[in-house]
């Protein structure tokens, strides 16, 4: 049995799981707020999609990791280790970004002028997924 592609599967799966959870948390907040405000719905929906980007990080890492495994420049065990911990970082970042976005949606519904500041806070949380992504690129 060949287990060499377990690592790429792990990093993709964890990235997608985190994005799904983060987007659902933010989406639920968006739905709740849209029932109370008459305008600005598009920006709330846009914010609720922010955690989806971490799935892209997992997808890119899956492709690059599988190529490295096929080329023999990465061992399957190293791939699993990298995928698990980087995928975990990406997943947790997505979930917490969803929570930050949920509060950003609630806050900017009450004070529309702070929307940009709230979006910046969500970007800060995403930066940790980006760090994990870039560091993984350096070692695979």
DSSP per position, 104-119: HHHHHHH-GGGHHHHH
- What would the CATH number be for the domain defined by 6-139? 1.20.120.610
The per-residue pLDDT for 84 is 97
| Full-model pTM | 0.90
What would the pLDDT profile of 70-85 be if each residue is shown by its tens digit? 999 999 999 999 999 9
Owner of token pair 């096929």 = 70
Q: Considering the chain, what percentage of its residues have pLDDT values greater than 90?
A: 75
pLDDT band at 7 (very low <50, low <70, confident <90, very high): very high
CA atoms of 54 and 98, how far apart (whole Å): 11
Question: Phi then psi for 41, rounded to 5 degrees?
Answer: -60, -40
Q: Under a CB-based contact definition with an 8 Å cutoff, are residues 118 and 107 in contact?
A: yes
The per-residue pLDDT for 109 is 86
Domain segments of the chain as ranges: 6-139
Q: Considering the chain, what percentage of its residues have pLDDT values greater than 70?
A: 100
CA atoms of 21 and 75, how far apart (whole Å): 31
Mean pLDDT for the chain?
A: 93
Residue 1 has pLDDT above 80, yes or no: no
pLDDT band at 21 (very low <50, low <70, confident <90, very high): very high
What would the pLDDT profile of 28-67 be if each residue is shown by its tens digit? 998 888 888 877 788 888 899 999 999 999 999 999 999 9
């Amino acid at each position: 049995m060949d287990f060499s592609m377990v690592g790429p599967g792990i990093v993709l799966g964890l990235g997608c799981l985190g994005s799904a959870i983060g987007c659902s948390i933010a989406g639920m907040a968006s739905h709740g707020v849209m029932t109370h405000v008459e305008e600005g719905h598009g920006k709330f929906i846009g914010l609720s999609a922010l955690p989806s980007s971490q799935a892209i990080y997992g997808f890119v890492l899956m492709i690059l990791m599988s190529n490295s495994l096929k080329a023999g420049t990465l061992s399957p065990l190293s791939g699993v280790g990298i995928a698990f911990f980087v995928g975990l970082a990406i997943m947790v970042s997505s979930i917490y970004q969803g929570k930050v976005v949920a509060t950003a949606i609630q806050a900017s519904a009450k004070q529309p002028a702070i929307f940009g500041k709230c979006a910046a806070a969500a970007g800060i949380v995403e930066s940790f997924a980006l760090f994990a992504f870039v560091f993984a690129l350096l070692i695979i």
